[in-house]
Amino acid sequence: MTLTELLPTIRQLSAIEKRELIRILVEEEDISDERAWQAQFEATTDAQWDSLAEIVRQEIAADIIL
C-alpha cells in the first residue's frame, strides 16, 4: 500500500489519532538517518570492503569475535 492509497483513511482520523500516527512515524523511522546511512553504504569502495573483510578474517583467526 502506498501513502497515496492511505491518505483517505488518514484524513478520516481524529486530530489526536493523526498526532499519534505522526509520533509513531517519527519514532520508528528517521528518514534522514536512513538516507545518510544508504549514501554512506553506497559510497563504500571495493577497497574499503576488502579492508573490512581482512579485518574480520584477522579477528576470526585471533578468536576475538564478539
Helix (H, G, I), strand (E, B) or coil at 14: coil
pLDDT at 12 (0 to 100): 96
- What is the SS3 assignment for 65? coil
In percent, how much of the chain has pLDDT > 90? 65
First to last CA, the chain: 39
What are the pLDDT digits (tens) for 34-62? 888 899 999 999 999 999 999 999 999 99
Determine the Cα–Cα distance for residues 41 and 6; give it in Å rounded to an integer.
Answer: 31
Instruction: Calculate what percentage of the chain has a pLDDT beyond 70.
Output: 97
Give the Cα separation of 21 and 5 in Å (integer).
16
Question: What nine digits make up the cell of 23?
Answer: 509520533
User: For residue 24, what pLDDT is reported?
Assistant: 86
